[in-house]
Structure 1
Amino acid sequence: MTSRADRLLVALALSSGPLVSLGLARFAYALLLPEMSAELGWTWSQAGALNTANAAGYLAGALVAAPTARALGTGRAFLLGSALCTAALLLTALTGTYGVLLLARAAAGVGGAWAFVLGAALVAAAGAEGTPRRAALMLGLYYGGAGGGMTLAGLLVPWVLDRAPGSAVDVPGAGGLVGWQLGWVALAALGALATVVAAGALRSTADPAPPSAEHRRWDRGRIGWLSGGYTFFGLGYIAYLTFVVAFLQEQGVGLATVAAFWVVVGLAASAGWFAWGPLIGRLGGSRAMTVLMTVLALGTVLPVVVAQTWAFFVSGVVVGGTFLSVVTAMTVGVRRVLPAGLWTSGLAFATAAFGAGQTVGPWLTGWFSDRLDSLGAGLVLSAALLVAGALLVLPQREPGTARGGPASDP
């Protein structure tokens, strides 16, 4: 695998990792949450707890991602994670029991963490053959897979729900499944297809170099401020992508507009790299994170401040086009601060810090919204957490980054 085209194709194929783990398993839940909540009689706290379970599983998976990769090989562990996540999507469709749903969401989180973290390590290793700018492009394409998953979910799930009026799906062969259950079946089918595509790409992808001997004793403080800011990113961003559809429906937005909104968010997420990539290249990972999380906070609070349809779509463009670039910036920061032998361990550590934040975030926002009887209040809280994270990451330093100046390529 030596040509630029081959490397970019591998990055696109492996983007099935974020497509399944984020686009389908985590974010598409927002499309199904209103119907699930209404049919199963949940509070906002209970609805948020399902994404908290997913995030808790993600945190657990991130903590063991590096040792799992060492035991099985990075490629095989990545593929196992994608398959586990897909199986959990199907399990979610087959029950309305709250406890089983919590377990299914947690299992999707574990598999999703392996697919996401280890896929990033595979792409980072493949990108090491080229220039730093090209490596960053590959990571941007990889993380853009989450936006692709959101776009596909935004096209498919509302179509499924529209064919399922009331509580019974009015389509042949549905087996009596209610609308939200059939929606999860459709997502599982997409996940299975994406996993097959990834398996084909792994045939031409080499595992990263084994971690160096220092992987067990490396100084986590080297990426401490970056990881701390990433924790607050996890706390803040997840509420918008969990509750925004329910918020829009509270404002009287119809299903067709919701579908269009979610597709816009997904397309913006896929294209966000082209807007933010040059900035990340100039500023470096940590300083770019500060800018991106500030912009993300503004996009999160916009629909609360201006409750009009045009503002909803502007918010979707801003949030969709920004949040994955925070992940890209974090990865660039880890690559600049740590040697190649610690990239997998560093990404896993930062992802665990992020996972801790997003584990608390959905429940916290749901609880806050219940207390104030307002989903809008929860979105305002999320924006405040994002601003706090933007400030927290400021002290992080990267090699070749002067105080207040641009970053050079590593």
Structure 2
Amino acid sequence: MTIRQLPPATGSPVDTAANTRATPGPVRSTAAALGLATAPAVSLGLGRFAYALVLPAMRTSLHWSMATAGALTTANAVGYLAGALAAPSVAARRGERPALLGSLAATVVSLAATAASSDLTYLLVVRMIAGAAGAVALIVGGTLAARLGADAAPGRSALLLGVYFAGGGLGVAVSGAAVPVVLGGHQGPPSWRTAWLVLAVLSLVAIPACLPGSAAPGPTRTDPRPGLRWPARPLLALLVSYGLYGSGYIAYMTFIVAHLRGHGAGDGLVTAFWVALGCAAVVAGFAWSGVLGRLRGGRGSALLMAVTAVAATLPLLSSAAPVSYASAVLFGSAFLSVITAVTTCARDSLPQHYWTAAIAGLTTVFALGQCLGPLLAGTLSDGPSGTAAGLAIGAVLLALAAATALAQRARSAPPVPAAPVSRDTVPG
């Protein structure tokens, strides 16, 4: 199983003397990772996950079924899939920095555009565009973050990736603090439209923080041959588990707020739940780095996926506020760190010139899972068991993902030899 790699703007770990720029030191690399964390904050926290907060108001105002609500998440995931496939080409042709900043700007525009109409077809298209732009931003930013730790110890490289993906948690926390205030307990059209505009403004304000990190120094060697393929077979178990994880985690993130609302949760509980989830994700970006640096192969991914499975099960056992908060903290502590673990595994398993294509390939499988998860969970949530059925299937998928990840072996042999590399760097 291979996925074609268009020429990414990434370096090769071999022949390091030919690198045209030095890898930044610890302080600069951490600062750069913090700046790059704007990408997941906007593309994930504000551009994707915040939809769960606006969904109850949109359902009430627009008279949607759960399946229709899930269709918007699926549309976003379809766009995410397209963006994942296009990311290596976009990064190579436009340059990494323009690709990153341009995709973040497109995400802002799509969020603002979501407020413009209540037509379902229009909303599906807009959410699809948001997904595509978000995927490009996340993949390009993730490649830059992975490169920051190219010459670092495993724990250090995992920390930098953890810092990067922790930005998604910050976006979740910010949206959790802002959106319920905007909705203010009202479920009419003005409230949900205003919520999308607020999310667009928050995203726009965040983008400047990404500027220093997007220009951080690092290796710039590339392989110019468009026919180069990345060896996906050694990561087959990880690919399967990541697809299952994509289906399971998005079911939770899409319908958990609707589930809480259906069990009488007010604005205060929803706000506290979402902020706790986001804050836990931010802290986890730092807390898990040491563990992920020691666990080889798919064991780190399996551990974190198992934590999300437990967290997704808790709301099914009780609707009490302490149980809900425990679910938020547990899920928040692991769900974005799974991406760190998966990226770390790919980074450790392949030469650097494959990283952009490998990250894009994993993101593609992840996106396929996200396309199926919301439709399945939404359809089940329209049944007699309500949102509990949708959350239950998500928990089952997460457990299956954890079990599958255990089959991913650590690399026991040297990576696939690097192809000859041109001494020219990619323009831009």
Q: TM-score, normalised by structure 2?
A: 0.88
The runs of 5 or more residues in structure 1 that have no matched partner are 169-177, 402-410
Measure the CA separation in 1 of the matches of 2:406 and 2:299: 7
**2:32 is the alignment partner of 1:20:** no
What secondary structure is seen at the aligned counterpart in 1 of 2:382? helix
Give 1:205 deviation, angstroms. 4.2
**2:365 is the alignment partner of 1:353:** yes
Measure the CA separation in 2 of the matches of 1:377 and 1:4: 46
Quote the residue 1:323 is aligned against.
335
> Which of 84, 87, 99 in structure 2 is aligned with 1:77?
99
Give 1:400 deviation, angstroms. 5.0
Quote the residue 2:82 is aligned against.
60
The runs of 5 or more residues in structure 2 that have no matched partner are 1-22, 414-428
> Which of 168, 189, 196 in structure 1 is aligned with 2:208?
196
**CA distance 1:195–1:91, shift in 2 (3 Å):** same
126-135 or 186-195: bigger deviation = 126-135
- Length, aligned pairs only: 391
Question: CA contact under 8 A between 2:76 and 2:129: conserved in structure 1?
Answer: yes
Q: How does 1:114-263 map to 2 (within 5 A)?
A: 114-162=136-184, 165=186, 167=188, 178-206=190-218, 208-211=220-223, 213=225, 216-263=228-275
> Which of 118, 135, 145 in structure 2 is aligned with 1:96?
118
Instruction: Give the 4+ runs in structure 1 shifted more than 4 A.
Output: 205-208, 211-215
Measure the CA separation in 2 of the matches of 1:166 and 1:52: 23
Give 1:369 deviation, angstroms. 1.3
> Which of 306, 311, 326 in structure 2 is aligned with 1:314?
326
Question: CA contact under 8 A between 2:39 and 2:167: conserved in structure 1?
Answer: yes
**CA distance 1:327–1:141, shift in 2 (3 Å):** same
Counterpart residue type for residue 85 of structure 1 = T
**2:409 is the alignment partner of 1:397:** yes
Percent identity among equivalent residues? 39
**2:314 is the alignment partner of 1:296:** no
Quote the residue 1:405 is aligned against.
none
Measure the CA separation in 2 of the matches of 1:119 and 1:133: 20
260-269 or 66-75: bigger deviation = 66-75
**CA distance 1:205–1:118, shift in 2 (3 Å):** same
Q: Residues 265-287 of structure 1: CA distance to partner in whole angstroms, max 9, x if unpaired?
A: 00001111333222211112511
Give 1:390 deviation, angstroms. 1.3
Measure the CA separation in 2 of the matches of 1:211 and 1:349: 18
Quote the residue 1:335 is aligned against.
347
**CA distance 1:207–1:375, shift in 2 (3 Å):** farther
Measure the CA separation in 1 of the matches of 2:157 and 2:151: 8
Question: CA contact under 8 A between 2:298 and 2:406: conserved in structure 1?
Answer: yes
Give 1:166 deviation, angstroms. 5.6
What secondary structure is seen at the aligned counterpart in 2 of 1:372? coil
Measure the CA separation in 2 of the matches of 1:267 and 1:301: 20
Measure the CA separation in 2 of the matches of 1:93 and 1:200: 31
Question: CA contact under 8 A between 2:141 and 2:214: conserved in structure 1?
Answer: no
Question: CA contact under 8 A between 2:56 and 2:187: conserved in structure 1?
Answer: no
Question: CA contact under 8 A between 1:285 and 1:329: conserved in structure 2?
Answer: no
Measure the CA separation in 2 of the matches of 1:166 and 1:73: 43
Measure the CA separation in 2 of the matches of 1:388 and 1:209: 39
Quote the residue 2:295 is aligned against.
283
Counterpart residue type for residue 34 of structure 1 = P
Q: TM-score, normalised by structure 1?
A: 0.92
Question: CA contact under 8 A between 1:74 and 1:208: conserved in structure 2?
Answer: no
